Amino acid sequence: MNNKKIGDHYENIACQFLINQGLILIEQNSHYRIGEIDLIMQDKKCLVFIEVRYRKNANFGPAEMTVTPNKQSKIKQAAQSWMLSKNLNIEATEFRFDVFAITGEKQQWIINAF
């Protein structure tokens, strides 16, 4: 499998897990000049921008550690672009940034990760 197919596979695993937790999928793989948002979901009244990360093993650290400050900044800017494209008032919209990390067989959903 190429990297795109691997990424899609693990995004689908994360998406299904989160749907089972009660979140509602709004959009998947939203691309912007600054970056991409893997999953955009609704958790009650809160918009959730989710970064999905996968590592085959923890030899070089767990998957969640790959969401660097630079990556976080790009995700935040992409989320802002998405909200503006939907005419949402950023100041009046409740939102958060989660990470869904898969390292080997271990899955971790980090709510309000950054």
Structure tokens at 102: 């898969």
Model confidence at 84: pLDDT above 80: yes
Per-residue model confidence as pLDDT tens digits over 37-76:
999 999 999 999 999 999 999 999 999 999 999 999 999 9
All structural domains of the chain:
3-110 (3.40.1350.10)
Q: Report how far residue 4's alpha carbon sits from residue 92's, in angstroms, rounded to the nearest whole number.
A: 35
Beta-carbon-side half-sphere exposure of residue 16 (alpha carbons within 13 Å): 6
Give the model's confidence band at 3: pLDDT under 50 very low, under 70 low, under 90 confident, else very high.
confident
Give the model's confidence band at 16: pLDDT under 50 very low, under 70 low, under 90 confident, else very high.
very high
